[in-house]
C-alpha cells in the first residue's frame, strides 16, 4: 500500500485489514480482532477515551483525600496476597518521582504480572487515605509507553488481549500516515456537503480524524470532536428522514374524516373535559388522519396523563368512516386490561347497521389474544374480516396471517419499546386493498425528546405534557429492609404497614408489588403466592387481601380486578402485571418489595397506579440495594415524580444502547455522539438533513453520502436504501 492519490471512502477504509499496517502482523492482528478492530476503518474510529496533558500532571503530595486525579507513575514493587474465600489482593507501590503511593486491586490476579517494577503508567482514580498513606483502589491504569507530544491520547484498551493504549496510538498513527497526509489533509472522502460544513465552521473529515488522534492543542480535540459527532448524527438523521419520506411517497393511506359523530358522542359523554394537552394531541392526530398519507406518530405522555382517551379517539375516527381500529399491547394482561377499560369507555355507542331493524347496532369491541377460546376466536376473526367487529384489542396475536380485516383504518400500538420495528411493519399489511392504516404509537415511558427524534426518526411526535387536574403528588419513601420479609421486621417496615392499615381504615386501598424474579415466571408466581400468604397472615391480617399474577386464569383475573375496583378488596398483592392500565383512583398506597430489582421506568409505571384520585398517595420502596445503580434508581424515584426527568436519569444509568435498541446495533453505533449530551447537535443535524433532502431527495448530487448511508445501514434499512 503506497501513498494514495485517490481519496478513500469509509467503505474503502473498512476493506483494508489492520494486518496491512507496519508493525501489526498476524499475532497482533488476532489481539486487535478480539477488540473488534479488524480494518483501518475500525481503528480510525477507535477514538481516545480521554487525553493526558503532560503539562498538567498532578503530584501525589499535592492531592487531598477524595480528589480525583491522573498521575504519571513508575512502579516500585508489586505484591500479591491471598485473602479469605479464594480472593486475592494485588498491591503496587508506585512513585511520581517525589512521593509514593499504593494502588490496590481485588481479584485482579493479572495485575501482578502487569505492574512490573520499573513500568511507567498513568493512573486515574480517587485519592484515599489508608492508615495515613495515600492510596487508590482499582484505579484506571493506562500504559502509554514513551509517547511523545504534549497531549497524549488514551485509548480504550484491552488487558486481556494485551493491547495497550500506547500500541493503539502507534497503529492509529500509522493508519493515519497511510490515509491522511498531514500537510494536504484530504485523503479521506468528505461526504458532507461543503455548505453544511461552512455554515457551521467545521473541519473537513480528514483533518478532524487526524486531530482527534494526534492533537497539538485542546482546541484541536474539541474541534475534531464537534465535527465527528456531527458526522454520526447527520448520517443517522439523513437515513431516518429519508426513510420517512420514502414511506410517505409510496404508501397510500385512508383519508379519514376527523371529529365524526362517534368521536363527538364519546368525548361529550366523558365525565370531565379533555385537558389542553389531550385536545392539542388529538388535533395533531386528526390532521394526520385526514391526510391521504398514512400517519406514523408517537404519542408520549407520562403515566396517568390520559393517553387512552387520545388512542380511543384515533380508533373511533376510523370507525366513524366505516373502518376498523386496533390496539396492540405488549402482553396479554395489558391487552385484557385495555379491553376492560376501553369497553367501559365506549359503552352505549352505536354504529350504523342498515340491515338491522333500528338501523344501528352497538359498537363491537373485542379482545383477541392467544388465550382467547377457539370458539371466540372464530367469531372474532369472522367479525374482523366481515366488518362486524369495530375495534379489536390484542397482543401480537393480531399480527398472525390468519387475522384479516375488513378495512383496518387505524392502529394504536401501546408501549412501543417492547415492539420491534418489523412488527409495526407487519401490521401495516393487513388491508386487502393495499391501503396502509394510520399508526399511533403510545409510550408511557417518556423518552427525552431528542432521543425520540432519533430512535423514532420516522415518526412525528405528540406530547401530553400535562396531567389531568386534581391529582395530588405521590410522596415516595425508601424503606431500608435487609433481605426480604424474613425475620423480625425492622422499625421502618412496621411503620410502613401501620400507615397502610391506617389508610385502609380511612377507606382507601393499597397495592403490594412482589419481588421481580427475572429467571422464571413460575418462580415469580410461587414467590408472589408465598408473599401473599405471609402478608395475609401477619402484616395485613384482618384486611381483605387479593392476589393477582400472570398465571391466574383470565376470568378469575377479571373477578379479582373487579372486586378490587369495587372496593371489595382492601389490598391487592400482585406481580408486575399491574404495571400498566390498572386504574383505581381510590388506591392510594403502593408498596414495592425488593424495589431495587426493578428498572426506573418500571418503578415509575408501578408507582403511577396510585396518585390517580384526589386523596394523598404514598409509595414505599422496600429495598437494601446491593449495587450503586440500584441505590441510584431508588434515589431517583424518591427524588422525582416527573417521568421525563426519570427517563433522563435512566438514560444516564443504563447508557444509550438500551434506548437505541436493536435497530442501531452494529456498524451504525454512535461512537462519539451521545443523544443525551449532544441534543442541540441532534436537532441541528436533523434540520440539516431535512434541508439537504428537500434539495436533493435521492442524494444524486451527493453520491459519497449515499454510498456511506448504504454502508452503515443495518440489513433492515439496506433493502430500502438500495432501492431508494
Ligand atoms: P395513561 O394511559 O396516559 O397512563 P390513562 O389514559 O390511563 O393514562 O388515564 C389516567 C386516568 O386519568 C384515568 O383514570 C382517566 O380516566 C383519567 N383522565 C384521563 N383524561 C382525563 C381528563 N381530561 N380529566 C380528568 N381525568 C382524566
Ligand atoms: Mg394507559
Q: How far is the CA of 551 from the centre of ligand 1 (A)?
A: 28
Ligand 1 pocket test: pick from 279, 308, 613 the residue with the most ligand atoms within 8 Å of its Cβ: 308
Residue of the CA atom closest to atom 9 of ligand 1: 306
- Give SS3 for 704: helix
pLDDT value for 193: 93
Q: How far is the CA of 525 from the centre of ligand 1 (A)?
A: 30
Site of grid cell 374480516: 385
pLDDT value for 662: 37
**Largest distance between two CA atoms of the chain:** 100
The answer to whether residue 715 scores a pLDDT higher than 50 is no
Cell numbers representing residue 374 in the block = 377457539
The answer to whether residue 673 scores a pLDDT higher than 70 is yes
Residue of the CA atom closest to atom 11 of ligand 1: 304
Ligand 1 close to Cβ of residue 399 (< 6 A):
no
* CATH pick for 55-148 out of 2.40.50.140, 3.40.50.880, 3.40.50.720, 1.20.1530.20: 2.40.50.140
Q: Which atom of ligand 1 is nearest to the CA of 305?
A: 3
Per CATH, the architecture of 261-291+305-443 is what?
3-Layer(aba) Sandwich (3.40)
Q: Which atom of ligand 1 is nearest to the CA of 272?
A: 24
Cell numbers representing residue 169 in the block = 496510538
pLDDT value for 48: 93
pLDDT value for 663: 37
pLDDT value for 2: 43
Q: How far is the CA of 481 from the centre of ligand 2 (A)?
A: 31
Comparing CA positions, the residue from 156, 179, 182 lying closest to residue 168 is 156
Count of C-beta atoms within a 10 Å radius of residue 385:
15
Judge contact between 168 and 213, C-beta under 8 A: no
Residue of the CA atom closest to atom 19 of ligand 1: 306
The answer to whether residue 720 scores a pLDDT higher than 90 is no
Q: Which residue has the higher pLDDT, 722 or 332?
A: 332
Ligand 1 close to Cβ of residue 446 (< 6 A):
no
C-alpha 11/C-alpha 704 separation (Å) is: 10
Segment 703-713 mean pLDDT: 88
Judge contact between 448 and 646, C-beta under 8 A: no
The answer to whether residue 313 scores a pLDDT higher than 80 is yes
C-alpha 381/C-alpha 366 separation (Å) is: 10
Q: How far is the CA of 272 from the centre of ligand 1 (A)?
A: 10
Residue of the CA atom closest to atom 17 of ligand 1: 306
Least confident interval from 26-30, 362-366, 581-585, 701-705:
581-585
pLDDT value for 449: 56
Q: How far is the CA of 360 from the centre of ligand 1 (A)?
A: 29
Least confident interval from 5-14, 216-225, 491-500:
5-14
Judge contact between 221 and 153, C-beta under 8 A: no
Ligand 1 pocket test: pick from 306, 393, 414 the residue with the most ligand atoms within 8 Å of its Cβ: 306
Q: How far is the CA of 377 from the centre of ligand 1 (A)?
A: 30
Comparing CA positions, the residue from 605, 606, 653, 661 lying closest to residue 630 is 653
Q: How far is the CA of 306 from the centre of ligand 1 (A)?
A: 3
Segment 46-56 mean pLDDT: 83
Mean pLDDT, all residues of the chain: 85
pLDDT value for 274: 97
SS (H, E, C) 584-649: CCCEEEEEEECHHHCCHHHHHHHHCCCCCCCCCEEEEEECCCCCHHHHHHHHHHHHCCCHHHHHHH
Q: Which atom of ligand 1 is nearest to the CA of 341?
A: 7
Ligand 1 close to Cβ of residue 274 (< 6 A):
yes
What is the CATH code for 474-640?
3.40.50.300
Ligand 1 close to Cβ of residue 270 (< 6 A):
no
The answer to whether residue 298 scores a pLDDT higher than 70 is yes
pLDDT value for 724: 30
C-alpha 104/C-alpha 111 separation (Å) is: 10
Residue of the CA atom closest to atom 15 of ligand 1: 306
C-alpha 199/C-alpha 688 separation (Å) is: 10
pLDDT value for 250: 81
**572: burial class by Cβ within 10 Å (0-12, 13-18, 19+)?**
buried
Sheet strands (E) in 484-602: 509-513, 545-548, 571-574, 587-593
Judge contact between 309 and 270, C-beta under 8 A: yes
The pLDDT-based confidence of 4 (bands split at 50, 70, 90) is very low
Q: How far is the CA of 135 from the centre of ligand 2 (A)?
A: 52
Judge contact between 106 and 138, C-beta under 8 A: yes
C-alpha 721/C-alpha 688 separation (Å) is: 19
Q: Which atom of ligand 1 is nearest to the CA of 309?
A: 6
Q: Ligand nearest 310 Cα, by number?
A: 1
Judge contact between 93 and 76, C-beta under 8 A: yes
CATH topology of 55-148 equal to that of 261-291+305-443? no
- Give the orientation angle of helix 218-250 with respect to helix 715-723, to 10 degrees: 70
The answer to whether residue 448 scores a pLDDT higher than 60 is no
Ligand 1 close to Cβ of residue 307 (< 6 A):
yes
Q: Hey, which residues does 391 pair with through a beta bridge?
A: 325, 365
φ and ψ at residue 296, rounded to 5 degrees: -135, 90
* pLDDT tens sequence across 496-530: 999 999 999 999 999 999 987 767 778 888 889 99
Domain ranges for the chain: 55-148, 261-291+305-443, 474-640
Residue of the CA atom closest to atom 20 of ligand 1: 306
Q: How far is the CA of 373 from the centre of ligand 2 (A)?
A: 26
C-alpha 44/C-alpha 42 separation (Å) is: 6
Segment 160-167 mean pLDDT: 80
Ligand 1 close to Cβ of residue 465 (< 6 A):
no
Segment 313-340 mean pLDDT: 90
Comparing CA positions, the residue from 335, 395, 310, 304 lying closest to residue 606 is 304
C-alpha 681/C-alpha 687 separation (Å) is: 10
Q: How far is the CA of 313 from the centre of ligand 2 (A)?
A: 14
pLDDT value for 669: 59
Ligand 1 close to Cβ of residue 236 (< 6 A):
no
* pLDDT tens sequence across 392-422: 999 888 877 788 999 999 999 887 555 555 5
Strands 438-443 and 128-130: unpaired
Sheet holding 100-106, edge to edge: 128-130, 133-137, 100-106, 87-95, 68-83, 120-126, 140-142
Comparing CA positions, the residue from 148, 127, 140, 118 lying closest to residue 54 is 148
Sheet holding 391-394, edge to edge: 365-368, 391-394, 324-328, 408-414, 438-443, 296-301, 460-464
Q: How far is the CA of 263 from the centre of ligand 1 (A)?
A: 17
Q: Ligand nearest 304 Cα, by number?
A: 1
The contacts of residue 640 (CB under 8 Å, 6+ apart) are 646, 649
Ligand 1 close to Cβ of residue 301 (< 6 A):
yes
- Give SS3 for 189: coil
Most confident of 163-167, 181-185, 617-621, 717-721: 617-621
Q: Ligand nearest 307 Cα, by number?
A: 1
The contacts of residue 9 (CB under 8 Å, 6+ apart) are 188, 189, 191, 704, 707, 708
Q: Which atom of ligand 1 is nearest to the CA of 302?
A: 3
- Give SS3 for 108: coil
The answer to whether residue 474 scores a pLDDT higher than 70 is yes
Sheet strands (E) in 84-119: 87-95, 100-106
Ligand 1 close to Cβ of residue 306 (< 6 A):
yes
The contacts of residue 256 (CB under 8 Å, 6+ apart) are 289, 290, 317, 318, 320, 321, 323, 409, 410, 438
The distance of Cα 575 from the centroid of its chain, to the nearest Å, equals 23
* pLDDT tens sequence across 210-238: 999 999 899 999 999 999 999 998 998 89
The answer to whether residue 386 scores a pLDDT higher than 90 is yes
Q: Which atom of ligand 1 is nearest to the CA of 273?
A: 23
* pLDDT tens sequence across 629-672: 888 899 999 999 888 788 778 777 765 544 444 333 334 457 88
Ligand 1 close to Cβ of residue 504 (< 6 A):
no
C-alpha 405/C-alpha 387 separation (Å) is: 7
Ligand 1 close to Cβ of residue 305 (< 6 A):
yes
% of residues, the chain, pLDDT over 90: 43
pLDDT value for 186: 47
The contacts of residue 412 (CB under 8 Å, 6+ apart) are 311, 314, 315, 325, 326, 327, 328, 440, 441, 442
Q: Which atom of ligand 1 is nearest to the CA of 310?
A: 6
C-alpha 528/C-alpha 549 separation (Å) is: 8
Sign of CA dihedral 171, 172, 176, 182: negative
Q: Which atom of ligand 1 is nearest to the CA of 274?
A: 23
SS (H, E, C) 453-469: HHHCCCCEEEEECCCCC
Q: Which residue has the higher pLDDT, 187 or 271?
A: 271
Q: Which atom of ligand 1 is nearest to the CA of 470?
A: 25
Half-sphere exposure (CA, 13 Å, Cβ side) for 26? 0
Residue of the CA atom closest to atom 26 of ligand 1: 468
* pLDDT tens sequence across 580-597: 667 788 999 999 999 998
Residue of the CA atom closest to atom 2 of ligand 1: 307
Amino acid at each position: 500500500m503506497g501513498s494514495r492519490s485517490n481519496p478513500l471512502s469509509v467503505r474503502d477504509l473498512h476493506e483494508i485489514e489492520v494486518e496491512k499496517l507496519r508493525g501489526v502482523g498476524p499475532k497482533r492482528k488476532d489481539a486487535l480482532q478480539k477488540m473488534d478492530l479488524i480494518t483501518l476503518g475500525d481503528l480510525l474510529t477507535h477514538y481516545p477515551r480521554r487525553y493526558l496533558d503532560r503539562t498538567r500532571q498532578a503530584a501525589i503530595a499535592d492531592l487531598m483525600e477524595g480528589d480525583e486525579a491522573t498521575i504519571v507513575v513508575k512502579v516500585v514493587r508489586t505484591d500479591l496476597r491471598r485473602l479469605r474465600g479464594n480472593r486475592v489482593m494485588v498491591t503496587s507501590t508506585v512513585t511520581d518521582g517525589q512521593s509514593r503511593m499504593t494502588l490496590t486491586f481485588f481479584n485482579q490476579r493479572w495485575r501482578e504480572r502487569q505492574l512490573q517494577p520499573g513500568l511507567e503508567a498513568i493512573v486515574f482514580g480517587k485519592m484515599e487515605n489508608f492508615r495515613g498513606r495515600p492510596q487508590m483502589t482499582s484505579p484506571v491504569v493506562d500504559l502509554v509507553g514513551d509517547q511523545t507530544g504534549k497531549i497524549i491520547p488514551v485509548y480504550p484498551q484491552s488487558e486481556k488481549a494485551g493491547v495497550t493504549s500506547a500500541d493503539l496510538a502507534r497503529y492509529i498513527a500509522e493508519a493515519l500516515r497511510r490515509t491522511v497526509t498531514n500537510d494536504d489533509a484530504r485523503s479521506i472522502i468528505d461526504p458532507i456537503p461543503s455548505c453544511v460544513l461552512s455554515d457551521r465552521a467545521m473541519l473537513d473529515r480528514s483533518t478532524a480524524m487526524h486531530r482527534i488522534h494526534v492533537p497539538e492543542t485542546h482546541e484541536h480535540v474539541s474541534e475534531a470532536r464537534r465535527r465527528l459527532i456531527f458526522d454520526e448524527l447527520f448520517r443517522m438523521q439523513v437515513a431516518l428522514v429519508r426513510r420517512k419520506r420514502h414511506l410517505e411517497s409510496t404508501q397510500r393511506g385512508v383519508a379519514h374524516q376527523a371529529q365524526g359523530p362517534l368521536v363527538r358522542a364519546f368525548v361529550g359523554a366523558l365525565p370531565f373535559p379533555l385537558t389542553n394537552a389531550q385536545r392539542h394531541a388529538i388535533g395533531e392526530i386528526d390532521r394526520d388522519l385526514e391526510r391521504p398519507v398514512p400517519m406514523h406518530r408517537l404519542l408520549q405522555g407520562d403515566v396517568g396523563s390520559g393517553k387512552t382517551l387520545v388512542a380511543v379517539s384515533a380508533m373511533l375516527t376510523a370507525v366513524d368512516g366505516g373502518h376498523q381500529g386496533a390496539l396492540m399491547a405488549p402482553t396479554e394482561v395489558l391487552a385484557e386490561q385495555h379491553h376492560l377499560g376501553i369497553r367501559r369507555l365506549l359503552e352505549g355507542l352505536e354504529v350504523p347497521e342498515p340491515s338491522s331493524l333500528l338501523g344501528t347496532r352497538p359498537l363491537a369491541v373485542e379482545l383477541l389474544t392467544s388465550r382467547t377460546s377457539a370458539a371466540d376466536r372464530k367469531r372474532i376473526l369472522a367479525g374482523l374480516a366481515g366488518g362486524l367487529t369495530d375495534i379489536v384489542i390484542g397482543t401480537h396475536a393480531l399480527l398472525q396471517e390468519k387475522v384479516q380485516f375488513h378495512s383496518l383504518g387505524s392502529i394504536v400500538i401501546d408501549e412501543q419499546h417492547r415492539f420491534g420495528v418489523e412488527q409495526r411493519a407487519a401490521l401495516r399489511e393487513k388491508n386487502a386493498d393495499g391501503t396502509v392504516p394510520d399508526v399511533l404509537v403510545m409510550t408511557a415511558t417518556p423518552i427525552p425528546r431528542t432521543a425520540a427524534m432519533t430512535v423514532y426518526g420516522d415518526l412525528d411526535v405528540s406530547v401530553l405534557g400535562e396531567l389531568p387536574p386534581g391529582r395530588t403528588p405521590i410522596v415516595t419513601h425508601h424503606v431500608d429492609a435487609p433481605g426480604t420479609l424474613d425475620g423480625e421486621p425492622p422499625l421502618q417496615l412496621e411503620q410502613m404497614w401501620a400507615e397502610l392499615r391506617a389508610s385502609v381504615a380511612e377507606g382507601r386501598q393499597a397495592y403490594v408489588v412482589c419481588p421481580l424474579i427475572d429467571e422464571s415466571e413460575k418462580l415469580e408466581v410461587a414467590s408472589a403466592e408465598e408473599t401473599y400468604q405471609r402478608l395475609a397472615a401477619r402484616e395485613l391480617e384482618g384486611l381483605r387481601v387479593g392476589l393477582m399474577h400472570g398465571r391466574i386464569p383470565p376470568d378469575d383475573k377479571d373477578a379479582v380486578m373487579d372486586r378490587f375496583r369495587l372496593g371489595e378488596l382492601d389490598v391487592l398483592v400482585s406481580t408486575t402485571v399491574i404495571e400498566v392500565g390498572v386504574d383505581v383512583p381510590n388506591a392510594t398506597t403502593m408498596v414495592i418489595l425488593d424495589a431495587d430489582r426493578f428498572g426506573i421506568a418500571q418503578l415509575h409505571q408501578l408507582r403511577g397506579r396510585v396518585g390517580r384520585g384526589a386523596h394523598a398517595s404514598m409509595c414505599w420502596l422496600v429495598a437494601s440495594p446491593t449495587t450503586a445503580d440500584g441505590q441510584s434508581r431508588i434515589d431517583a424515584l424518591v427524588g422525582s415524580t416527573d417521568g421525563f426527568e426519570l427517563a433522563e436519569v435512566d438514560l444516564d444509568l443504563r447508557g444509550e444502547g438500551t434506548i437505541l435498541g436493536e435497530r442501531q446495533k452494529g456498524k451504525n453505533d454512535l461512537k462519539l455522539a451521545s443523544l443525551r449530551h449532544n441534543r442541540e447537535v441532534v436537532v441541528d443535524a436533523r434540520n440539516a438533513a431535512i434541508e439537504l433532502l428537500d434539495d436533493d431527495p435521492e442524494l444524486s448530487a451527493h453520491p459519497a453520502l449515499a454510498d456511506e448511508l448504504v454502508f452503515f445501514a443495518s440489513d433492515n434499512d439496506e433493502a430500502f436504501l438500495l432501492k431508494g
